[in-house]
Amino acid sequence: MNVSQISNQKLFGKLLRFPLQFIPAETVMPILQGKLRGKKWIVGSGQHGCWLGSYEYEKQRLFEETLTEGSIVFDIGSHVGFYTLLASVLVGTQGRVFAFEPLPRNLLFLNQHLQLNQIDNVTVIASAVSDTCGVTSFATHSNSFLGQISSQGELQVETLALDELVNSGQIPLPTHIKIDVEGAEMSVLRGAKSLLSSSHPTIFLATHGYEVHQQSCQFLESLGYCLKAIGAENIQQSDELIAYIE
């Protein structure tokens, strides 16, 4: 059931959400539906849709249909770990998940979720992903989903390029990559051009803004990827897409 799709501007949606405000932020709830049903989740770490199991419902279901046991998944911009947990369940004991997240607040909840659920097939990498390895400024936001690399940022974070990590043997080639990095999509893709060209992992990509959306689509198509919109009729109407090789 996609509870998150019910508008919060309508009376029913307001009534449905009203009791949620009284749940203490530190409460640990079982996730109610989907492949993560029964897993433990800290209510105040993110949206209520996470423990309700309806967070990004269509994308979540496509993620479940696409990943297989034994997959190697990079979760880039893992936030507090919803897709990290989901990937860890889907890939099973033979698979592996690498979760990249630079923001200390999010890392705290991410690691707590892994500990609460006794997850042992996930490696957390406390860095932002870009096209170079180094240090950069990162802008935080009152909404923890909206932190991003920015020259005006007040936080200094480490940056890593996927090609350099793979070429140095620090991490294996991925079969799937999820990218949600609030505008830094092209930096992530440029820093992974070699592995994208050679191993063609399936990519779940969220884009932020018209220009970066166009650039990301053109870049992936130049590497031979087919693109399909998630939650919209076509690529130009969607800021969520899946990229794959036929």
Tens of pLDDT, residues 206-246: 999 999 999 999 999 999 999 999 988 899 889 999 999 98
18 closest CA partner among 8, 31, 33:
8
Q: What is the mean pLDDT of residues 136-143?
A: 82
Q: Is residue 149 part of a domain?
A: yes
Q: Does residue 12 form part of some domain?
A: no
* 240-244: strand order across its sheet: 122-125, 96-100, 72-76, 176-179, 202-206, 240-244, 226-229
In which domain, by residue range, is 91 found? 57-244
Q: Is residue 44 part of a domain?
A: no
pTM here is: 0.91
Domain assignment present for residue 21? The answer is no
Domain contains 158: yes
pLDDT in tens, 9-28: 666 555 666 778 889 999 99
99-124 average pLDDT score: 97
Secondary structure of residue 197 in the 3-state scheme: helix
Tokens of 199: 């191993």
Question: Do the Cβ atoms of 149 and 132 come closer than 8 Å?
Answer: no
CA 197 to CA 51: how far, in whole Å? Answer: 37
- Environment class of residue 114 by beta-carbon count within 10 Å: exposed (0-12), middle (13-18) or buried (19+)? buried
Percent of the chain clearing pLDDT 90 (strictly above): 79
Q: Is residue 181 part of a domain?
A: yes
Do the domain assignments include residue 41? Answer: no
Q: What CATH number is attached to the domain comprising 128?
A: 3.40.50.150
In a domain, 174, yes or no: yes
Both tokens assigned to 160: 């890593």
Those residues whose C-beta lies under 8 Å from the C-beta of residue 88, and which sit 6 or more positions away, are: 95, 97, 119, 121, 122
Q: What is the tally of structural domains in the chain?
A: 1
* DSSP codes, 100-132: E---HHHHHHHHHHHHHTT--SEEEE-SEE-SS
CA distances from 104 to 7, 141, 240 (A): 32, 12, 26
